[in-house]
């Protein structure tokens, strides 16, 4: 049995128990000399345990996929985030013209253009590099899976498919709290059950955006939500992704115990799974933060104040949607887009699958129509900045 204690990207202790003596179908107690831990602010600590066949050579970084069995435990030690980027206090200058609000940093070179009609970010550049092309926009739909078609999900929950596309912005307010921060408040009406979505953007002088998203159902007879989150797009050059959460392969609310929480890396082109038929794919659950970057090391970090779901792909979500009935396309029929779609979701309902011809996800893995709210911190970073794993620890 090999064990290790992991903190973010660091392994702070490891050990080997090679004298196991336990008959089949019996139990035995094992003592692990865990180190005393003085928790660093914002850092989570995990105990990873792996069992190998006797005689397996020890490796520096256990490849859990090759283990006979493994398990992970979050240790009960934690200290709240405490540090704050002092650049947040830099000055910010707002300019309003026609239907646009333009925010520029004085000490930090960024420019955020907000569309006061559409209620979304029109563009966002940092150090002259475009980070955000479109969004974030609320998102309530996932491309139906084979299991979804089996339980008639496209028809039962179809009211959510175009809920974001057909939304109506009813009010956009903005104000400057000080010369160092600006707030934007967007209220949107959803035809689905006369519901409402609210988005609050708090923009600071270092280019940081703290976004609060709130969903308020209008009626009680609405069907479950397939998902609740936001979707945005970045230039295709942001093709490298790293995240702290479950991985490295895709996983879902009811399909995640086989994926360990850790620091994972991937190319965006490898984030989806090429199922024979296009359908929901590429989700990662229990994500603490995700960072997308280009070859120059410029990137965008998204940190949630709770566990979120995430996907990043060179396709639009609707590319994987067959509609209300199967058309039997193949995933290789899809053409990559000239941008990256990044979904940052509060949650997505489970995949279900007790049967694929009628069974729905278990009730505890569904999203009933009720109030949901979560916050995401968006922060640009430069090669000379601290790495995302450290930037993610700052308080917001």
- Asked whether residue 261 is assigned to any structural domain, the reply reads yes
The residues, any chain, with a CB within 8 Å of residue 87's CB and separated by 6 or more, are: 107, 108, 205, 206
pLDDT confidence of residue 60 = 46
Average confidence (pLDDT) over 343-371: 96
Task: Identify which of 368, 195, 378 has the alpha carbon closest to the alpha carbon of residue 289.
Answer: 378
- Asked whether residue 79 is assigned to any structural domain, the reply reads no
Q: In this structure, what CATH number is given to the domain that contains residue 231?
A: 2.70.98.10
pLDDT confidence of residue 326 = 85
Q: What is the pLDDT of residues 116-166, one digit of tens each?
A: 999 999 999 999 999 999 989 999 999 999 999 999 999 999 999 999 999
- Asked whether residue 245 is assigned to any structural domain, the reply reads yes
Kind of pairing, strands 10-16 and 372-381? Answer: unpaired
Phi, psi of 149 (to 5 degrees): -65, -35
- Residue 144: which domain range? 86-391
Domain end position, chosen among 23, 46, 74: 74
**Which pTM does this prediction carry?**
0.92
Residues 320 and 207 in one domain: yes
Residues 231 and 91 in one domain: yes
- Asked whether residue 80 is assigned to any structural domain, the reply reads no
Q: What is the pLDDT of residues 40-70, one digit of tens each?
A: 999 999 999 999 887 655 554 555 456 789 9
Distance CA 360, CA 350 (A): 9
Are the CB atoms for 299 and 290 separated by under 8 Å?
no
- Give me the number of domains the chain comprises: 2
Average confidence (pLDDT) over 164-184: 94
Domain end position, chosen among 27, 51, 74: 74
Residues 103 and 236 in one domain: yes
Residues 210 and 273 in one domain: yes
Residues 55 and 140 in one domain: no
Domain end position, chosen among 74, 103, 120: 74
Residues 63 and 115 in one domain: no
Question: Tokens standing for 43?
Answer: 């850092």
Distance CA 201, CA 34 (A): 42
- Asked whether residue 34 is assigned to any structural domain, the reply reads yes
- Asked whether residue 396 is assigned to any structural domain, the reply reads no
Residues 116 and 208 in one domain: yes
- Asked whether residue 191 is assigned to any structural domain, the reply reads yes
Residues 62 and 143 in one domain: no
Residues 164 and 45 in one domain: no
Question: How high does pLDDT run on average in the chain?
Answer: 92
């Amino acid at each position: 049995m090999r064990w290790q204690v992991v903190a973010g990207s660091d392994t702070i202790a490891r050990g080997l128990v090679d004298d196991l003596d336990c008959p089949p179908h019996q139990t035995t107690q094992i003592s692990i000399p865990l180190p005393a831990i003085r928790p660093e602010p914002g850092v989570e600590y995990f105990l990873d345990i792996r069992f190998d066949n006797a005689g397996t050579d020890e490796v520096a970084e256990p490849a859990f996929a090759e283990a006979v069995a493994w398990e992970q435990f979050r240790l009960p030690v934690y200290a709240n985030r405490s540090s704050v980027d002092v650049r947040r206090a830099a000055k910010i200058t707002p300019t309003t013209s026609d239907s646009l609000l333009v925010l520029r940093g004085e000490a930090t070179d960024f420019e955020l253009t907000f569309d006061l009609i559409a209620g979304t970010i029109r563009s966002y550049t940092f150090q002259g590099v475009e980070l955000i092309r479109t969004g974030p926009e609320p998102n309530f739909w996932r491309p139906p899976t084979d299991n979804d078609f089996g339980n008639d999900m496209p028809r039962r929950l179809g009211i959510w498919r175009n809920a974001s596309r057909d939304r109506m912005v009813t009010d956009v307010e903005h104000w400057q709290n000080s010369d160092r921060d600006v707030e934007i408040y967007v209220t949107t009406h959803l035809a689905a059950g006369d519901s409402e979505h609210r988005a609050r953007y708090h923009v600071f002088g270092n280019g940081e955006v703290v976004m609060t998203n709130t969903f308020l159902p209008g009626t009680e007879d609405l069907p479950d939500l397939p998902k609740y989150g936001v979707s945005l797009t970045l230039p295709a050059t942001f093709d490298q992704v790293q995240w702290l959460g479950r991985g490295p392969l895709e996983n879902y609310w009811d399909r995640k115990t086989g994926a360990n929480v850790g620091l994972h890396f991937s190319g965006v082109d490898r984030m989806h799974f090429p199922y024979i038929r296009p359908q929901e794919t590429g989700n990662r659950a229990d994500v603490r933060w995700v960072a997308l970057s280009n070859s120059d090391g410029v990137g965008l970090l998204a940190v949630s104040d709770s566990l979120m779901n995430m996907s990043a792909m060179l396709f639009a979500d609707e590319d994987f949607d067959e509609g209300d009935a199967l058309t039997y396309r193949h995933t290789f029929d899809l053409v990559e887009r000239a941008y990256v779609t990044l979904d940052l979701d509060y949650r997505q309902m489970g995949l279900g699958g007790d049967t694929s011809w009628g069974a729905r996800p278990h009730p505890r893995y569904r999203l009933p129509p009720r109030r949901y709210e979560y916050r995401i911190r968006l922060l640009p970073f430069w090669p000379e900045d601290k790495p995302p794993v450290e930037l993610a620890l700052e308080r917001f």
